[in-house]
Amino acid sequence: MYEKILIATDGSAASMNSSRSGIKLAKSLGSEVLVLYVINEMAISRVIASMIGRGFRQEDLRRALKASAEKVVSEVTKMGEAAGVRVEPIIKEGDPASRILETAEIEGVDLILMGSHGEGGISSKLIGSVAEKVLNWSTAPVMIVR
């Protein structure tokens, strides 16, 4: 049924919890997993603007954000390996919702799995803005994990 599952993560606690759920689901269904971390373009711009005047170089900040993304996808990949699930890590830059939808389309995934809120999520809302956009625009089924 779901041969290829896209797990979108941002490294937040809620996101890592949904990643664990996605790995369990993939194991039970015999699915392969793509784990996607999107380095948020807007967040990069804000961080760079706030740090650049303090002696930080743009390249160093981008490198640090990329290293953080690599650490997160590595953690999810290890979760998959421990469960016997094949996981392909993907890191992209840009608007998270757009990159999730784009990746799902390009890779032909059967399911997108993501947390209800990511980093900086407002827990008083039912779901966060990225999850809402993905739900509204995805042509593939979307599973939101709280």
Task: Describe the strand order of the beta sheet including 87-94 as a list of residue ranges.
Answer: 87-94, 32-40, 4-9, 111-115, 142-145
Q: Find out whether 128 and 146 touch, Cβ atoms under 8 Å.
A: no
**What pLDDT score was predicted for residue 58?**
74
CB neighbour list of residue 123: distance below 8 Å, 6 or more residues apart: 117
Fold designation for 4-37+69-145: Rossmann fold (3.40.50)
Determine the pLDDT at residue 123: 47
**pLDDT score, position 65:** 86
Model-level pTM?
Answer: 0.88
Specify the pLDDT at position 96: 94
The shares of helix, strand and coil residues in the chain, as percent rounded to the nearest 5, are 55, 20, 25
Tell me the pLDDT of the chain (146 aa) as tens digits.
899 999 999 998 889 999 999 999 999 999 999 999 999 877 666 666 666 666 677 777 788 889 999 999 999 999 999 999 999 999 999 999 999 999 999 999 999 999 986 555 444 455 678 999 999 999 999 999 98
pLDDT at 49: 66
Under 8 Å between Cβ of 85 and 33: yes
Output the pLDDT for position 53.
66
Domain ranges of the chain: 4-37+69-145
Quickly count: other Cβ atoms within 10 Å of residue 9's Cβ.
25
pLDDT of residue 52: 64
